[in-house]
Amino acid sequence: MVNSAKRVLVFDSGVGGLSVFDAIAASGHALELSYAADNAWLPYGLKSDAELKARVPALLIAMVRHWVPDAVVVACNTASTIALEDVRAALSIPVVGVVPPIKPAAALTKTGTIGLLATPATVRRAYTDDLIAQFAPDKTVVRFGSAALVEAAEQKLRGDVPDRSAITEAIEGLFGAPGGGDIDVVAVACTHFPLLAEELSAASPRPATWLDSGAAIARRVVQVLSAETGVTRAQYVGFTDMEHAHGLAPALRARGFEGVSRIGSSDFALAAVD
């Protein structure tokens, strides 16, 4: 029998893109999913646009050559806003990016007030301003940028208790800001943050819908690949910094990965998940 499963490479600067990986894995389609993290350069928010425009396409060209996916998902808001078009120009396969979910949040809000939770770099970007101007011009958007939540999400993936102060800071930064008491939808614009969905929702002072891009990305992947209904399987996982991958074994095994690749310009050596 011919294997009808399409191969998808999910890429991020760290492990936040696993939230997107999980959404695609839950789609119920015949897909073989690989995951790659450029954690040697984490966080991307501290790198210049020029550096990322050079680094991300070159790295993905190498990974596509070795892993031969049918599509690539750039599961990183920073990389998507800066280098997505460069990646698409460099590859001959479909490339799906991440967009802060301003548009669906604007459609969903009943109070007219949206929270935007992202990294500090995404909160400040002109790209985000343009999304708000285009899709939420008549809404109040309360923004808060958190770098601490990124580390808290990675703590959780390693099996540790996430930093409570990071959760508290984010909730107070949103709901405690002027107009924040009216927030009924939060647009989550960092792929790390859905990994803390339970903690953020539990800490919220009022009911709110926490909206991320995972499900929308999964639908887009299925659409561009015309994927058939079936079983999703894990294929390859790799890191540019193997040292930083330590402690992630339970999270990787839970997603079906058995070996980890060290990603370099010409080095894709395989090691056991440990």
CATH number at residue 186: 3.40.50.1860
Return the SS3 of 197. helix
Element (H, E) at 74: strand 71-74
Q: Pull the structure tokens for residue 169.
A: 């800071």
128 is in an annotated binding site: no
The CB density around residue 124, as the number of other CB atoms within 10 Å, is: 14
Q: Measured in Å, how far apart are the chain's first and last C-alpha atoms?
A: 34
Q: How far apart are CA 235 and CA 204, in angstroms?
A: 37
Q: Does 206 share its domain with 244?
A: no
Claim to verify: residue 93 and residue 226 sit in the same structural domain: yes
Domain shared by 90 and 28, yes or no: yes
The pLDDT value recorded for residue 246 is 77
Query: Which of these three, 176, 194, 212, is where a domain ends?
Result: 212
Give the separation between CA 72 and CA 137, rounded to whole angstroms: 32
207 and 233 share one domain: no
44: annotated binding-site residue?
A: yes
Under 8 Å between Cβ of 238 and 37: yes
Please check if 230 is assigned to a binding site: no
pLDDT tens per residue across all 274 residues of the chain: 345 789 999 999 989 999 999 999 999 999 999 999 998 988 887 888 899 999 999 999 999 998 999 999 999 998 998 999 999 999 999 999 999 999 999 999 999 999 999 988 889 889 999 999 999 999 999 999 998 998 899 889 888 999 999 999 999 999 999 999 999 999 999 999 999 999 999 999 999 999 999 999 999 999 999 999 999 999 999 999 888 777 888 899 999 998 888 887 555 544 444 4
Domain membership flag for residue 10:
yes
Q: Coil, strand, or helix at residue 219?
A: helix
Residue 132's nearest CA partner among 100, 177, 97, 179 is: 100
Q: Is the domain of 177 the same as that of 194?
A: yes
| Residue 156 maps to a domain | yes
Q: What whole-number distance in Å separates Cα of residue 259 and Cα of residue 191? A: 23
Q: Does 32 lie in the same domain as 64?
A: yes
Q: What is the pLDDT of residue 3?
A: 57
Catalytic-role residue among 190, 200, 218, 251? 190
pLDDT score at 33: 97
Residue 165: domain span: 102-212
C-alpha span between 221 and 136 (Å, rounded): 26
Q: HSE of 18 in the Cβ direction (CA atoms, 13 Å)?
A: 26
Same-domain pairing of 37 and 135: no
Active site residue 105: no
Q: Report the 10 Å Cβ neighbour count for 175.
A: 21
The conformation of residue 222, written as its DSSP 8-state character, comes to H
12 belongs to an annotated ligand binding site: yes
The response to whether 180 counts as a known ligand-binding position is no
Q: 25, 76, 183, 251: which is the annotated catalytic residue? A: 76
Number of domains forming the structure of the chain: 2
Q: What's the pLDDT score for residue 53?
A: 94
The model's pLDDT over 94-137, given as tens digits with 9 standing for 90+, comes to 999 999 999 999 999 999 999 999 988 889 889 999 999 999 99
> Is residue 1 one of the residues assigned to a domain?
no
- The C-alpha atoms of residue 170 and residue 174 are separated, in whole angstroms, by 6
Residue 67 lies in a domain: yes
**Which domain-ending residue is among 175, 192, 212?**
212
Are residues 127 and 35 located together in one domain of the fold?
no
Domain finish residue from 195, 212, 229: 212
Alpha helices in 43-144 (DSSP H): 49-67, 77-90, 102-108, 120-124, 126-135
Other beta carbons less than 10 A from residue 198's beta carbon: 11
pLDDT at 51: 93
Residue 194 token pair: 């859905």
Residues 257 and 222 reside in one and the same domain: yes
Check whether 236 is labelled as a binding-site residue: no
Decide: 147 and 7 in contact? Cβ < 8 Å: no
Same domain? For 109 and 199 the reply is: yes
Annotated catalytic residue 190: yes
- Strand bridging mode 233-239 / 113-118: unpaired
Regarding whether 222 and 206 lie in a shared domain, the answer is no
**How many Cβ atoms sit within 10 Å of the Cβ of residue 183?**
24
Residue where the block lists tokens 């990994």: 195
* Pair (38, 81) in one structural domain: yes
